[in-house]
Amino acid sequence: MRGADVVKNLYDAYAKRDIEGALVDCADDVVFRWIADPVQSRYAGVARGKQEFLARLVALDSDFEYRRFIPVEIIDGGDKVAAQVEIHLTSRTTGDEFVLRTADFWTVRDGKIIELVEYYDTALAASVI
């Protein structure tokens, strides 16, 4: 399976809020790097391994209601995949609705996701928590 297909499968499951299903094609030692200012985002940093990655995603669900999750573009570079994602969210704390765009950079090896590096607007996210 192509790297872009593996990433698309993850996005499809995640859009349906099947968080555990989204991680099926992740390696057990997957690394997820949130490139963000830790002052503005408690999610900044690195999650190592499927369980830590899952815990971070579940924590996000406790802070935000995901109204829509749209992979706007997926660029297939073989085992390197890039994507723009548009996420329509509601803060569970404030009730504020907003749209967050992310830039995701994936590494896929032997059909398994081994790394995700994600960039997003931390100031926007911090302003609605």
The predicted pLDDT at position 126 comes to 67
Q: What is 3-128's CATH number, 3.40.50.970, 3.40.50.300, 3.50.50.60, 3.10.450.50?
A: 3.10.450.50
Span 41-61, average pLDDT: 85
The residues spanned by each domain of the chain are 3-128
Q: Would you say residue 10 has pLDDT above 90?
A: yes
pLDDT at 12 over 80: yes
* Structure confidence by residue, pLDDT tens digits, 20-34: 899 999 999 999 998
Share of the chain above pLDDT 90, in %: 64
**Any bridge partners for residue 82, and if so which?**
75, 105
Name the DSSP letter for residue 36. S
Report the alpha-carbon angle 25-9-58, nearest 5: 70
| Nearest-5° Cα angle at 81, 79 to 83 | 170
